[in-house]
Structure formats: structure tokens, C-alpha cells
Amino acid sequence: MIPIEFEPPVEDARVVIGIDFGTTFSGFSFAYIKPEKEKIAIVVNDNWLGVKGPMKTNTVLQYDEDYEDVITWGAKALANEPSKKAKNKQPRPVEMFKLHLGDVPETKKPKLPNGITPERAITDYLREMGFSEKTKTIMRKCLFDAGLIKRIGTLSLQFTTEPEAAAIHCMNILKEHGLSTGAKYLIVDCGGGTVDLTVRKLLPDNKLGETTMMSDGFCGGTYVDDKFLEFLEKQVSKSAMDELKEKNYGQVNYMVQQFCFHVKIPFTGEESDFETFEWDIERKCPALKKYVTGSEKNELRKNDWIIDLDFKTVKGFFDPVIDKILKLIKDQLKKCPDCSVMFLVGGFSESKYLQTKVKQTFGDKIKIAVPPRPVIAVVSGACEYGLDTKAVSTRVLKWTYGVLVSPKWQPGDPLSRKNSFGRIDKFYLMAKKEVQVDVDKEFSQRLLPSQPNQTSIVFSIYYTSKYSATYCDEPEMNFLGKFEVDLPDAHLGLNRPVMLTLRFGSMEVFLKATNETNNRVYRTTFCSAE
């Protein structure tokens, strides 16, 4: 999910900022709005706390020992040296906190320190970046608390997904691949924590339509790092690695950085290109030695504390992760077999081995392209979307949306669900998943109060991964939000219709309710479930 920030207000915008808030790495881009016909240059930030070069920095925070203040953030939060601001021992850095947003399995969510909520971590991180369904609602509040927007409900803040932003970025190079209006292309955004896929169709006037429902998986580049650490744990014992993580977490991160630089990034998957890498524990992670005991210690002593990373072992780090990515691609191409080009974007897409495996598996079915600097495709595309939010013409709904209604209980309805008013709460479907909707398309339904004397009506909106549902408490049903509409003129009884309208024109759900008795209009915005 990418927030796009306009400051000052949209109608008098001077600059557009695209923020790529990622699971493991984040970045931002910006562009000054110029008069029509003047070329607008998008600048991707490459200066992080004085370190110039990287287009992104780590989504990590280092707090003081009391978790009251942020000592440092980004790549410096993973530095091996303790901060001078720390009173005594620094606590472990807080990372991967984005996984607490949305419908992420509990097993994938990292444990956060006491007193650090996901909302606080996000707010602190967005504040430190230096611009001074549920996920987007949280993000709006965090951006507001971080001082990046003046009002929570401002339309100056727009959202787009990572693959959508990448699709917009890649749209500018479609002609290089011979694509014209009507062509479909697949975006595979391989990040650190997740891989997101979407199929887009090029429409007239450089507009984009979404062809298939977006899919994703937890199989980004950091899972290769995890496989390396799992291998290391088998060599030194779980207890030794646990102690290292608890007492010397900075050295764990240093090891991962060294592994990426010397092994992961250069790995091509060709044995002829590979030389067995000697992993010297004394040099790469000296603190680990004091935690290793028993037979593991004896064996490592014999080998001078060196562990060989041979071709088969390193390949084994990659293959389980890449196999999941290949399956995701296969499933998307099955839904849309007439795609012309597949674009690999995101940091992990720079892996030569991943590129090779994708080309070997799908090269005879579809053209495969890796744009220049694929790591910036998302953050640059986010800014491009901010400059022209109408670039996206259609989207495919990932969820089924509806509202809670209370009709009269009828024979055949479960008796246990009948309430004291003789009514039953049900899910009324308003928009079905996998339906392609035009931007600003509205779904409306006229609803009536359930009691003649009620003075307001509360609309509770739900969404589900199923195509339909009967009740709002079914499995896979999620509460999105609610808002209240005044219902004066009680003397009219039940004859007080309200027109409820849902619109999915952006990455948020806009709701409008019109009291048709007095023509008063109510509006609100909810996050679009991802």
C-alpha cells in the first residue's frame, strides 16, 4: 500500500510526494508540479541520515531502553555499534511491524515490545522519515499523528497498491516492448517481505484497467535470509542463536548484511559461477562463539570456526522461496493467459537466480522484462499516480461488500436468530468480489428503518472473502466500519427511505447516505480491505 501526499491542498498543489511504506524497506519520491506541457521530473530520495546512495532504507526503529524515544531509524537502527544516546543497553530494534496491518496470519507477525503498538511504530517511523477495510484507516491516523497531513479525512492523501504503482511506472516503457492499447501485462512485485501480483490492461489515453484480482504471498527476499539463519542455527544450535539474538542482535543483522553482499546478491544459480564461501564465525560474528557449547562447539573448533556455504546449500536457501513465487505467477497467468509481457519489479527481482528461474519456467509463454532500477518502480510509480490519479480507470474488487440489514423474521429463518422485535440481522450484498468496476462506479441501495419510532439509523458495513453470505457473523466476515444517519420526522414511521451508496473509485471505500425525506447527505470514508 502506497500513500500519496499532496501539500498544500489538492486544488492548489505544488508538490506530490509518494511514500513506499514497505515491510522491510521504505522510500519516498517527490515531484514539483509544473505548468501544463512542461516535463515533470520525479526525484527518488537517495540520502538517508547522511548516507547517500540507497534508494530505500530499512523499515526499522531503534528505541531507547525505556521505549520512550526513537534513538535512530532506518539502516542505522541495524548498525552494530551502540548509539551514544543510549543510557545503558539498547533494546532490540523494532522491525517488520507493518505485518501487523491487514489480514496477515498471526504466525507472520513479529512480537512487539510492551508498550509499542503497531500504530505507534508506524507513526514514529513516518515521523522520522523526515517530511516535517482497516489498514488505511490506521495509516491515515498514523500520518496525521506524524504531522504529515493536517486533517485525517483530507482528500490530499490518496492510496494505491504497490503493484498498481509499479504498473503505472511500467506503463511508460510499454512501447519499448511493442505493446499498444488493449495489451495486458503482468506485474510481479518482489519485495523483501511479500510478493504482489496484478494483471493490468492498457486502455486509450494512457489509462490502466485491472484485469484480474490482485494476489500476494509471503515469499519476498528476506525469506532467503531466514533460510540462511535457519541453516546457521543447525550448525551452532538453537540455544546459541537464541542467546545471540537476545544479547547481540546487532551482530545478527551484520551477518545478514554480509550474507546478502557476499552470497545472496551474486548468486546466479549457475554452479560454474559459484565458489564455496567460507563463513568465518570469528570474523562475521565473534559474539556467537561464547554461546556455542557441546558437540557443536567441538566440531566448529575442529574447523577453525568456519562453515562452508557450498552451491547446493545456498541454492537450498533460494528454492523454497522462488518456488512459491513461481506458483503465484502460474496462478495469475492461468487467470489471464493472453498477457503479453511480465515485468519483474521490487528489490528481490534484481536476483539473477530469480530472473533465470522465471525465464526458464515462463519464457516460452510470455515475454519477461526487468525495468531499469526495478527497486524504485513502486516508489516512482506512487509519485506518478499522485500526479495523475485518473491514470487508473478500472479495478477488480478483492472482497465482497455489504451492509447489515434487519428484515422481518420469516418461516425458514433460524429461530435462534430472531430478536425481540421479530426481526433478524442479515448481510445484504452490495458489491461482489472479482467484479471489475470503473473508477467512481457507485453501488446503491434504498433502505428503510426497522422501527417506526427510531430517530437515527446506523449503517454497519462488512466485507468477506466469499462471493456471498447470509449473516454478518459468518467465518471470513470482517467488519469495515459504521456511520450514523439522523432520521427526524418520526411521525412518518417506516416511510423514511435512505439511499446508501458505496463507491470504489480509489483505494478507499467512499460511502454516501442520502436521507430522501429531507435530502440531507452524509459522507464518510473507510479503508478498502486489502
Angle at alpha carbon of residue 453, lines to 449 and 454, rounded to 5°:
55
Domain boundaries, position 171: 165-218+324-394
CA distance 410 to 422: 9
Alpha carbon 385 to its chain's center? 16
The predicted pLDDT at position 334 comes to: 94
CA distance 495 to 480: 28
Residues 239 and 307 in one domain: yes
Residues 18 and 77 in one domain: yes
The predicted pLDDT at position 226 comes to: 94
164: nearest Cα among 218, 207, 105, 104: 207
Helices 311-335 and 222-236: angle between axes, nearest 10 degrees: 150
| Beta strand spans in 350-405 (E) | 367-369, 392-396, 400-405
CA distance 482 to 70: 35
Does residue 136 have a pLDDT over 70? no
Residues 92 and 126 in one domain: yes
Residue after which a domain boundary falls, among 357, 375, 394:
394
Q: How many domains does the chain have?
A: 4
Residues 329 and 440 in one domain: no
Mean pLDDT within 430-443: 87
CA distance 31 to 29: 7
CA distance 165 to 29: 12
- CA dist 302 → 222, 298, 309 (Å): 31, 6, 17
Residues 520 and 408 in one domain: yes
Mean pLDDT within 19-23: 86
Looking up residue 332, the CATH number of its domain turns out to be: 3.30.420.40
Residues 206 and 80 in one domain: no
Residue 373's pLDDT band, with cuts at 50, 70 and 90, is: confident
Residues 130 and 40 in one domain: yes
Is the model more confident about 210 or about 355?
A: 355
Residues 258 and 289 in one domain: yes
474-501, pLDDT tens digit by residue?
999 999 888 888 998 888 999 999 999 9
Residues 402 and 390 in one domain: no
The pTM of this model reads 0.76
Does residue 140 have a pLDDT over 60? yes
Residue 103's pLDDT band, with cuts at 50, 70 and 90, is: low
Looking up residue 446, the CATH number of its domain turns out to be: 2.60.34.10
Residue after which a domain boundary falls, among 160, 183, 205:
160
Out of 91-95, 221-225, 291-295, 337-341, pick the least confident. Answer: 91-95
Residue after which a domain boundary falls, among 361, 394, 427:
394
Residues 120 and 27 in one domain: yes
Residue 148's pLDDT band, with cuts at 50, 70 and 90, is: confident
Residues 249 and 390 in one domain: no
Backbone phi, psi, residue 22, to 5°: -100, 170
Is the model more confident about 161 or about 30?
A: 30
Percent of the chain with pLDDT over 70: 89
Percent of the chain with pLDDT over 90: 46
Residues 328 and 407 in one domain: no
Helices 222-236 and 238-247: angle between axes, nearest 10 degrees: 120
270: nearest Cα among 334, 401, 360, 362: 360
The predicted pLDDT at position 247 comes to: 87
What's the mean pLDDT when you consider all of the chain?
A: 86
